[in-house]
Amino acid sequence: MVNYAYERTCWKLGAETVAGVDEAGRGPLAGPVVAAAVIFPAEVWIHGVDDSKKLSSGRREELSALIRQCALSVGVGIVPSEVIDEVNIYQATLRAMAEAVGRLSPQPRHLLIDGPRYQKSAIPYNAIVGGDALCFSIAAASIIAKVERDAIMRAYDAEFPQYGFAKHKGYGTQAHRDAIRAHGPCPIHRRSFRMPASGA
């Protein structure tokens, strides 16, 4: 259950500003990976904040607006598909997270990161497996990241309508794979990911 246990531990240890950090878009065949970092004033609570995967698109949009209203700071980092191909998705995710944290003001005194690990950081951190379903700040970051990435993919749908990005957001659905077979990859497809063969 999402709560403030991790943040409260950090606050008790003297870290006044704690940022939750999460990403969206590690698995898709197309589009960027997007990370978000969120700092809340102590004990600010928004009912309904949870792992973004558990929420409907409409509810995520509502909560994203509330998070931005209530947060002390929100930062977003975006790493495009061509960089993912250059450095691999794991390194691209770390870059997106670092970019999101770098855009926070004030800078946090402690980070709570979703996942099993993080990179070397000048800011102390905890990496929490399943953190988006446990930690309020990480759950909020998961919502911001998902809403931001979905908006990007809807914009790409207007540019490349034959792939259906507005519907599947670049994930490897059957319809998306069929579109790649029919049309080949477009500029936002991740060439380092396994693509269906054209004409297969």
CATH number for position 168? 3.30.420.10
In a domain, 82, yes or no: yes
Q: What is the pLDDT of residues 48-106, one digit of tens each?
A: 999 999 999 999 999 999 999 999 999 999 999 999 999 999 999 999 999 999 999 99
In a domain, 192, yes or no: no
In a domain, 65, yes or no: yes
Q: What is the pLDDT of residues 106-143, one digit of tens each?
A: 999 999 999 998 988 999 999 999 999 999 999 999 99
In a domain, 191, yes or no: no
> Residue 152: which domain range?
5-183
Q: What is the number of domains present in the chain?
A: 1
Q: Could you tell me the pTM of the whole model?
A: 0.96
Query: Which structure tokens are listed for 199?
Result: 């004409």
**CB neighbours of residue 82 within 10 Å:** 14
Beta-bridge mates of residue 76: 36
What's the DSSP call for residue 114?
A: E
Beta-bridge mates of residue 113: 21, 127
In a domain, 198, yes or no: no
Q: Phi/psi zone of residue 40: left (φ > 0), alpha (ψ -120 to 50 degrees), beta?
A: beta
In a domain, 155, yes or no: yes
* HSE toward the beta carbon, residue 80, CA cutoff 13 A: 5
